[in-house]
Structure 1
């Protein structure tokens, strides 16, 4: 059998993720007929049905589920190979470190200082990503190392634990719950996280937020500044690592311990296949910085 065409795989992944040919075509900036033909050609090549089509929706067959998982991995690997090759050919070495702003357990300055003292030290480029995107930035070649809060997808990655610190609840200072310290998860019954997950079923990712139990608009938040503003006015609460709460003291916000919520854990992660001495030196620097940091 001839090798699979990467473009057809890309088209299939778009349809599988959107569950709709029209939306997938818009995402790919193409018309629907050639997209449908490409997916049909992929099915013909494999000799299996990947999708079941209705007038309104597309569903994956069991074979389609398997291909979606492996196709994502293959496309990530190709993108990573291209990015890493171009990065290796740069005239001066640079270490790319992915992180979500403020989610570094307060260790980033100490790590950078320790790395500057390593013989293999080079310029560090900070790659700022969204919540939960750090691990993906490693797999697709955008970064060489990343500071990742738990939980994260560790597939294809090695990691070194760096720190654990209390997770606090941020809520409006005027909220009656602010009078309780510490709180328990049971106190949050009726509060929900974005997407409808009950807040009393935490843990979720650091920085998650919930909509108030009081009738209100469902808010879509993109960054911590927006979350804190909505917390101030009583529309949301958020679970945040203590290092983040220390950076954002606000009179309108109360930060409270929740007795049965786990600590926020942070690790340094890097691709398993990484052989760069610079990456090794950065891991060593991160370990030194974490070991000398004050105990939370």
Structure 2
């Protein structure tokens, strides 16, 4: 043994045994509800309990665990690192109990919809075809789609609210207890209506000329927004004060189609409009803006057949 080496303390098996003897399903159900709702009051409503009852149950669980699991504050409830670790196991237990109850009642697991999260700029790319293909073989399987930012999707995935999520590659620290499978890579595109004044340029329109028109960009804190700002900085420019900021693809495409706005968007988001000619892409180079898009799943994913098949369909469509 090298000098200065301090072996880790042995696991406290007695404490673990006491925890297993005393913990009850109500503790786990309460904890999962608080983690998913991120608010004690909303968790209480969901569980049909009073907020003091939820607080008491949470306190009991933390006393049994011997560690703080949830930080409660004026702005809601946030899991501690220990709570994040415990949540994955708690969700697995509560999901298993729900499946067992469904089996006993004769209600099979297929009645539960697949819960899919997606970035707004990704949802319209391959999800419609993927859902249609899934339901051609699983007619009784519903699909519930939730859109949001990468951070929101990852939090919902960890909390057990989603079975999988379509998003952009995140920083390593954001991938704790989550896996990422690459589907495709896409760059930024500048999109306008047919006949837009910028399409009259024989080649690439100068970027200062582009900024003379209304500009539609993603909201702050997103990858497309970051790439837009970097692209402008390479031209010695910055975002204009009169820009339109949105993650709503329908709003962005409508404003670009019906006016003179220039939409700075991930290139696959408007692919239907580009294919049918309602929008056109300017020949503006966007080097260094390529970003990986893929499937996020919990490190210990649901093994439901329909979820696995849906993930396989997404893989197939990503390369077509």
Give me the TM-score of the superposition, normalised by structure 2.
Answer: 0.51
Q: Per the alignment, do residues 174 and 71 of structure 1 end up closer, same or farther by CA in structure 2, a change over 3 Å counting? A: farther
Matches within 5 A, 1:204-219: 213-214=240-241
In the alignment, is the contact (CA less than 8 A) between 2:187 and 2:286 conserved in 1? no
- 1:159 is displaced (CA, Å) by 5.7
- 1:259 is displaced (CA, Å) by 1.9
Partner in structure 1 of residue 31 of structure 2:
9
2: distance between equivalents of 1:284 and 1:196? 30
1: distance between equivalents of 2:178 and 2:222? 28
2: distance between equivalents of 1:102 and 1:194? 12
Q: Per the alignment, do residues 167 and 270 of structure 1 end up closer, same or farther by CA in structure 2, a change over 3 Å counting? A: farther
2: distance between equivalents of 1:40 and 1:275? 32
2: distance between equivalents of 1:36 and 1:260? 49
2:267 alignment partner, one of 228, 234, 242: 242
2:189 alignment partner, one of 164, 168, 180: 168
Q: Secondary structure at the match of 2:265?
A: strand
Deviations 1:99-118 (A, max 9, x none): 5476268445665787799x
- 1:130 is displaced (CA, Å) by 1.0
1: distance between equivalents of 2:263 and 2:84? 32
Q: How many residues align?
A: 264
Question: In the alignment, does 2:96 pair up with 1:96?
Answer: no
Partner in structure 1 of residue 287 of structure 2:
259
In the alignment, is the contact (CA less than 8 A) between 1:171 and 1:238 conserved in 2? yes
In the alignment, is the contact (CA less than 8 A) between 1:103 and 1:149 conserved in 2? yes
Deviations 1:138-176 (A, max 9, x none): 6666666x562322565556665333233325589789x
Q: Per the alignment, do residues 222 and 74 of structure 1 end up closer, same or farther by CA in structure 2, a change over 3 Å counting? A: farther
Q: Per the alignment, do residues 154 and 115 of structure 1 end up closer, same or farther by CA in structure 2, a change over 3 Å counting? A: farther
Partner in structure 2 of residue 130 of structure 1:
147
- 1:224 is displaced (CA, Å) by 2.2
Q: Per the alignment, do residues 231 and 85 of structure 1 end up closer, same or farther by CA in structure 2, a change over 3 Å counting? A: farther
Larger helix proportion of the pair: 2
In the alignment, is the contact (CA less than 8 A) between 1:135 and 1:148 conserved in 2? no
2: distance between equivalents of 1:57 and 1:104? 30
1: distance between equivalents of 2:36 and 2:108? 36
Deviations 1:200-251 (A, max 9, x none): 74489xxxxxxx64168x97x57322344577899x9865332221224597
Q: Secondary structure at the match of 1:98?
A: strand
2: distance between equivalents of 1:65 and 1:195? 26
- 1:261 is displaced (CA, Å) by 0.8
Q: What is the RMSD of the two structures over their aligned residues, measured on CA atoms?
A: 5.7
- 1:129 is displaced (CA, Å) by 1.4
Give me the TM-score of the superposition, normalised by structure 1.
Answer: 0.54
Unaligned runs of 5+ in 1: 19-23, 205-211
Give the structure with higher Rg (CA). 2
1:225 alignment partner, one of 233, 250, 263: 250
2: distance between equivalents of 1:51 and 1:96? 28
Deviations 1:76-124 (A, max 9, x none): 334533565577765595783725476268445665787799xxx4335
